[in-house]
Amino acid sequence: MILLFHVLFYLWEVSNASETVSKPNIVIFMADDLGIGDLGCFGNRTLRTPNIDKLAREGAMLTQHIAASPLCTPSRAAFMTGRYSVRSGIASVHRTGVFVFSGSSGGLPSEETTFAKLLQQEGYSTALIGKWHLGINCNSSNDFCHHPLSHGFDYFYGIPLTNFRDCIPGHGSVFANGFKMYIHTVLQFIGIALISLKAVHYLGLFRGPIRALGYFFLIISVLLGLLLLLWYNFRYLNCILMRNHTIIQQPWIYENFTQRFTEEGKRFIKRNSEAPFLLFLSYPHVHTALFASQTFKGKSKHGLYGDAVEEMDWSIGDILHVLDQWHLSEKTLVYFTSDQGAHIEEISVNGEVHGGYNGIYKGGKSTNWEGGIRVPGLLRWPGVVEPNTYIDEPTSNMDIFPTVVKLAGASLPKDRIIDGHDLMPLLQGKAVRSMHEFLFHYCNAHLNAVRWHPENSMSIWKVFFFTPNFSPEGSNGCYDYHVCFCQGDFVTHHNPPLLFDLSRDPEEKNPLTPETESQFYEVIQVIQQAVNNHTASLSNVPNQLSLDNILWKPWLQPCCSSVLQFCYCDHEVEENKDVP
């Protein structure tokens, strides 16, 4: 009888344990442009990040966690879908690799399946608080085809585009930087065209009326005028704060911005404490323009950048405290990361460093050197993931997709390739090797580099087919252009490719040669075959970052008042806070 009692008690415990493990809550914290070297748990001794460091101690640290892209839009597309962004068409063939206008038509296609959508179908309440940067509209200013609510989120409070320097007057202009890059070429083209038309008319080769030249000049003048109008009103048109489909501030107001995002997250948790939920808190920190509330401004040792990091850490601590208050910590998987590495070229108009620190790693945002793609990866789940777990295996931000989908009890889509792998075997010690034998690193639509972690080997080989030309020469970034580009005179191609072994040279200082590495040609051959297999798995899809899809279209411009009022509004104070 006693034996039977023990057996029944054991079965009850097992049943309870499996019930606890199934359908956990999911809380995701994603920073923007945060360097891996900015956190105490990754070695920083001067920036205070106690709450993030506590996450690391209480769970697992992924020390080779790789962003699927070194730029915001494609990295987030890959994160949400578990697939390389080239598969969804979020891969540019020109210089601009992200969405820069709220009135553009590109975005995450409706055919793509996000983990939020799959969790929503499993009964999860889902919310995105913060940055989206994956498009808004397709054909009209209110079709919301790319909006978060069309991709599996029940609730959205945040910025549909991104945080720009332009959003704070006096902090400089990203749009102006791009304008300066192209204006020289445009003016040259116009000048040559006008001189040529005048010459052929003078020689009698063109018999049309001289007023045709005037019309041509008028059209060009109107287009340049519209461009200047867009430039001067960039802040009003693109710095938009939304609640669900409604614009509540245009442009948004930075005062207590972090506190507002934090309160939204806390309210969502409290509203959904009795059922499984997904909270994705996607911080605009520490993308420029940098901001910090009065409580944190001037308090760090690293200027406004440090203030912003420390305020974000406070916000994360506040959210974790609510999980503790509502006895939800043991039922919740928490994940922290950054969408890519620090933007080291960020210097304010006053000369202050506004970019982060990538530790020992080379390069930064917009490059596939380790500094651009090696990001913090922290996961905590008390009772399931052991504290102080260190995983020094290649993992990807795409791995979150299959991990949370399986935990929610959903099935992975079978009609498409999922490039991510379930992290739970690694996190629970049931596996010691990553499922990623190869990881492919894209610079926009161009395959830039590949890493290979062979079975039964400690080596992690990484090859580069081309590398960015740092400017000025000898620096660690592309300071002359604000970001590094992926083609033309901005890169150097390598044949044979550059080869590194990251297990011996994580700083990527010493490229290997056939003379210094006996396996040189064998490694290159294996990686080339992997590239061939990977390339064969890609399908042709519409390019969401084509010029047509990223250019501003006035009829798609979200506007909460009227164009005559420059779309200005501030409804947050008067709106009803009792939101679903």
Q: Which residues are catalytic?
A: 72, 133
Beta carbons of 338 and 32 less than 8 angstroms apart: yes
**Separation in Å, CA 493 to CA 369, 370, 469:** 15, 18, 10
Closest CA to 281 of 314, 248, 250, 252: 314
**Separation in Å, CA 161 to CA 80, 101, 139, 154, 509:** 16, 7, 17, 19, 36
Could you tell me the two tokens for 75?
Answer: 């990295």
As a whole number of angstroms, the distance between CA 119 and CA 518 comes to 48
Instruction: Please give the order of strands across the beta sheet that includes 389-396.
Output: 389-396, 60-66, 377-380, 332-338, 25-31, 277-282, 125-131, 155-159, 241-243, 246-250, 569-570
Residue 289: is the preceding peptide bond cis (ω within 30°)?
Answer: yes
Bridge-based pairing state of the strands 241-243 and 155-159: antiparallel
Q: Quote the distance between the C-alpha of residue 461 and its chain's center.
A: 25
As a whole number of angstroms, the distance between CA 261 and CA 264 comes to 5
Beta carbons of 77 and 148 less than 8 angstroms apart: no
Q: Is 405 exposed, middle or buried (0-12, 13-18, 19+ CB in 10 A)?
A: buried
CB-based burial, 191-220: b 16+ in 10 Å, e otherwise: eeeeeebeeebeeeebeeeeeebeeeeeeb
Give the DSSP letter of residue 512. B
Q: Facing residues of 394 across strands?
A: 64
Give the DSSP letter of residue 44. -
